[in-house]
Structure 1
Amino acid sequence: MFEKLEKGLQKIVNPMAQKLSDNQSLKAVSAGFVKLMPITLGLVVFSIIGNLPITGFTDWLTDVGLMDSINAALTASTSIISIYVVFAIAYNFANNRNQSGITAGFISLAGFVLLIPQTVQAGKETVSALPISYMGSSGIVLALIISICVGHLYCYLCGKNVTFKMPSSVPPMVSESLEPIFVAMIIFGLLFIVRVGFSFTEFKNAADFVSKIVSKPLLAIGTSIPALIFVLFVSNVFWWFGIHPQTIQGPVSSVLYMMMLDNIDKFGNGKEMLYVLPLLVYLIAGIGGNGNTLGLLISMISAKSKRYKQMFKLALVPHIFNINEPLIFGMPIILNPFFFIPMTVNCVISGIIAWIYLSVVPFTYNPMMELLPWTTPVFVKYFLSGGIALLVLVLILVAVNTIIYYPFFKMADNEALKEEMAGE
């Protein structure tokens, strides 16, 4: 049965997975977000200090004059994240096509600034300034569109040799800077036309158009909790067949990143966060890594076979830090009929429990903790994120995951034990 299912799924999934993995735009987006980690993680210590769940601590920081500086550190990271995104993605796109990534990145960044409003209202007076509100999470979709379009156009024009050829006597540094001039002129000319075109519409600028027409429908799909649980389910089905879950989760990650940054922005400004429930359900439903294998690890405490006793020792420390590949490949779980059901249904059950729990139990949520490194142990992370309420939820889900995995693990363990006894 599993062999037929495997062959059928591979015929459908493998070509799609290959196309997604080869897609230049998705590669650039993924690499671009990864390159932002030094900024977000480098400043995460200020997020933790400024939002520790200790009564009176934040008031003390304000009294001694440190809170303004902490907020400035957060502004330097998440509040202007779109200007980092628009550069990083265009840079990676051009770099992957053996073109000048730094030039494409700067053109993309300048194009982003060209398309957002450049004035702000200060009372009755209009002041020339770049509104920071367009450079945070609300500008990410526009940043994605500009960076990908500029990346494509830059590489296409360079490939057609639409460049300013310099004599060989000119130093390489000068030549590399001047050669893309015609390419930059063409791209900026097109972006200028876009800006002028939007000025005659009811939106007045491209940023508001994207926010109202593109971002909201995209977020509406991404904030559907059943849809997010389904994404986790399909990801784990793929992973069981050996197809990396990033194939499915990759396109969703940009929407989740937008939701996270929007929560952080609202939290920092004392406003109501809009995407707490869907984001938390998605993240907590997948605790223990893809396949929710923390429950499997705990089940392995009862192992009787030498094989799984040794595997438990090897997988324990990595799994504490959310690294579950030793279990995925060491058991192995991939294409192992014993673990197909628990690996694929755990996230669905966890997602439903988390959805109900978070809808009923009151809790406070600090979205800044989502900036913690992904290797932060889940018990630590969610205690810092939401105190006792979220920690209790994590403990409940780990217990449920363990209950689901345990009978299937015992079957696998008994089988391994029989093989070991027969081989003695």
Structure 2
Amino acid sequence: MSSSLNIIQEKMIALMQSIGQNKYLRAVMSGMMLVLPVTIMSSFATLLKVFPFGPYQEFLAAHDLGRYFDIPINFTNNFLAVIATFSIAYTLAKNFDVDSFIAGLIAMISFFIITPYHLGEIGPLGQSFSIPSQWLGSMGLFSGILVAIISTRVFVAITNKGLVIKMPESVPEFISKSFSALIPGIIILTSFTVLSAVIAMNGWGSVHDIIYKVVQDPLTSLGSGIGSVIIVAVLAQLLWFLGLHGHAITLGIVAPIWFAMDAQQLAAYSAGLTPPNITGFAFFMTYGVAGDLLPLAFMLAFIAKSERFKTLGKISLPPAIFTIGEPMAYGVPLVMNFAIAIPYIFLNGIMLAVAYYLTVIGVLPRVAGVSTPSGMPIIISGFMQGSWKIAAFQFLSFFVRFAGWYFFFKVADAIACKEENYELEKRKNEIDV
């Protein structure tokens, strides 16, 4: 029985490691993480615009200042797909050891090529044109991901086959790189131009229309359900339990869906509308991850009888306030510790389910989709999602999690005490001898 479990465990770890090491998933995840600072900037601009304080809002309205906050919002959140296209292509190119900046630039231009535009009137400065902003933001995110992957993969293939213009060694490197990108760039941009033209001439709309209807919309419907959110939460914790970086693996799969949903949330919140989604990345982080190990840190610091646990608690509590749990993960340890497996693996999923239900019945408002900086403490992160009710839920969830951890913690503490007593007796006997 034990050998069978070991075989299953080894195969599962090998599978998850292969997923986590996949160059394309790593590029998407890393690329989206590079976009995160931009979404945080957009989130702060949104919070400054809609901050719920009467005199402040009256001041903004009296001086017509609210519209100025829309400028950074429009060029961050509403340009999410454009920025993500570059960052994902950039990251993927680095994974293949080719010129990452040129690859990102070609991918971004390719994205604009497949994006429909409308010609305006001819004025003194020439003919104007406009691009529908809907495809530059959350609705165009999957188009950007696919363009980034395809464009960069073609760029890598052409470059590795040597189909590039090679300049003499005496030519400066930046000039040589520019010329080496000409042939791959021409092939890639021409291909996307032809694709875009064929789709438009056949009355199929645009590349964006097809990708949104065939890929993004169905995946969003699938990934936005609470069942999917709970599966991701439980699987992430199970992988952590097995010693793998659970969130790096699972979020690499769902991040594009959830980031797009958050962008929709933030756009609606900024416009004073009800956010369209319940779940998303902000929902997952606010209710499932933020402060998840804080109750355990308190128990280690103030309840534990084990000397090792007491010392660990003093070390772990300050980082835990900022949602950093690595000291506990490897100090308790949480990895492969069956005494605390149940709360460690399932509590996050339970809290997400409770938060979802309370949102559905109207007790909790929908999260604003704000991207909070990594390590933001609970309660503060709740307020940043647009409501004191969310902050209050985070506060109450601390005690719910505390209760969920308590019994299992006492078992782990008792085991640690026995191990310490055994070591003391062993040393005492060695001294007597």
Do both share a fold (TM > 0.5)?
yes
Segment drifting more, 386-395 vs 39-48 = 39-48
Aligned-partner Cα distance in 2 for 1:9–1:389: 43
In 1, Cα distance between equivalents of 2:141 and 2:199: 19
Distance 1:4 1:387, change over 3 A: farther
Contact 2:355 2:364 in 1 (8 A): no
- CA 1:105/1:286 → structure 2, altered by over 3 Å: closer, same or farther? same
Q: What amino acid is the match of 2:186?
A: M
Tell whether the 8 Å contact from 1:222 to 1:228 is kept in structure 2 after alignment.
yes
Kept after mapping to 2: 8 A contact 1:267/1:366: no
Q: Answer with 41-50 or 168-177: which moved more.
A: 41-50
The 2-side partners of 1:40 and 1:220 are apart by 22
Secondary structure (helix, strand or coil) at the match of 1:53 reads: coil
CA separation of 1:186 and 1:278: change in aligned 2, threshold 3 A? closer
Alpha carbons of structure 1 residues 279 and 160: separation in structure 2 relative to 1, 3 Å:
closer
The answer to whether the 8 A contact 2:322-2:377 is kept is yes
Q: 1:181: Cα distance to partner?
A: 1.1
The size of the alignment, in residue pairs, is 417
Q: CA 1:69 to 1:355, structure 2 compared with 1: closer, same or farther past 3 Å?
A: same
Equivalent AA in structure 1 for residue 253 of structure 2: P
The Cα of 1:187 is off from its aligned counterpart by: 0.8
1:346 aligns with 2:333: no
Tell me how far apart the structure 1 counterparts of residues 80 and 186 of structure 2 sit (CA, whole Å).
Answer: 26
Deviations along 1:314-355, one digit per CA (max 9) or x if unpaired, are: 111101111111111111111111111111121232122212
Q: CA RMSD in A?
A: 2.3
Letter in 1 for 2:327: P
1:268 partner amino acid: S
Task: Flag structure 1 segments of 5+ consecutive residues without an equivalent.
Answer: none
How big is each residue's C-alpha offset from its partner over 1:380-406, in whole Å with a ceiling of 9 and x where there is no partner?
Answer: 111232423212322332222111110
Residue 385 of structure 2 aligns to a residue whose secondary structure is helix
- For residues 227-256 of structure 1, the C-alpha deviation after alignment (integer angstroms, 9 at most, x for no partner) is 210111111112111121022232111211
Match runs of 1:148-163 below 5 Å? 148-163=149-164
How does 1:271-290 map onto structure 2 within 5 Å?
Answer: 271-277=273-279, 282-288=284-290
| Preserved contact between residue 359 and residue 366 of structure 2 (Cα < 8 Å) | no
SS of aligned partner of 2:205: coil
Matches within 5 A, 1:25-424: 25-119=24-118, 128-245=129-246, 246-277=248-279, 282-288=284-290, 292-300=292-300, 301-365=302-366, 367=368, 370-422=370-422, 423=424
Cα offset, 1:264, TM superposition: 1.1
Q: Measure, in 2, the Cα distance between the counterparts of 1:208 and 1:150.
A: 19
Amino acid at match of 2:17: Q
Cα distance in 2 between the residues matched to 1:168 and 1:352 = 62
Q: 1:362 to 1:120 in 2, by over 3 A?
A: farther
Question: Deviation at 1:363?
Answer: 4.2
Q: Cα distance, 1:157 vs. partner?
A: 0.3
1-side partners of 2:257 and 2:243: how far apart?
A: 25
Letter in 1 for 2:266: I
Which amino acid is the alignment partner of residue 63 of structure 1? Answer: A
Q: Distance in 2 between matches of 1:29 and 1:115?
A: 20
- TM-superposed CA distance for 1:132, in Å, is 1.8
Distance (Å, rounded) in 1 between the aligned partners of 2:188 and 2:153? 11
CA pair 133-59 structure 1, distance change in 2 beyond 3 A: farther
Give the SS at the match of 1:367.
Answer: coil
1:140·1:258 contact (CA, 8 Å) conserved in 2? yes
Q: What is the identity, as a one-letter code, of the residue corresponding to 2:116?
A: P
Structure 2 vs 1, CA of residues 216 and 45 (structure 1 numbering), >3 Å: closer, same or farther? closer
Name the SS of the counterpart of 1:128 in structure 2. strand
- TM-score norm. by structure 1 comes to 0.91
Q: Distance in 2 between matches of 1:50 and 1:395?
A: 26
C-alpha separation between the residues in 1 aligned to 2:386 and 2:4?
41
Say whether the 8 Å CA contact 1:32–1:88 is kept in structure 2: yes
Question: Against the structure 1 CA distance between its residues 46 and 5, is the aligned structure 2 distance closer, same or farther, given a 3 Å change threshold?
Answer: farther
Most deviating of 195-204 and 6-15? 6-15
Q: Distance in 2 between matches of 1:140 and 1:185?
A: 24
CA positional deviation for 1:366: 5.7
Q: TM-score, normalised by structure 2?
A: 0.90
Q: Aligned partners of 1:205, 1:221: CA distance in 2, in Å?
A: 24
- Sort the Cα spacing of 1:65 and 1:16 in 2 relative to 1 into closer, same or farther, 3 A: same
- Sequence identity (%): 23
Note if contact 2:278-2:359 (Cα within 8 Å) is conserved in structure 1. no
Q: Decide whether aligned partners of structure 1 residues 363 and 247 sit closer, same or farther in structure 2, where only a CA change above 3 A counts.
A: closer
Distance 1:36 1:280, change over 3 A: closer
Aligned counterparts of 2:119 and 2:330: Cα–Cα separation in 1: 55
Residue number in structure 1 paired with 2:21? 22
Q: By how many angstroms is 1:38 displaced?
A: 3.5
The one-letter amino acid paired with 1:77 is: T
Contact 1:89 1:148 in 2 (8 A): yes
Q: Which moved more, 1:57-66 or 1:372-381?
A: 57-66
Within 1, Cα distance between the matches of 2:120 and 2:249?
44
Alpha carbons 1:139, 1:211 under 8 Å: kept = yes
Q: CA deviation at 1:6?
A: 5.1
1:168: how far off? 3.6
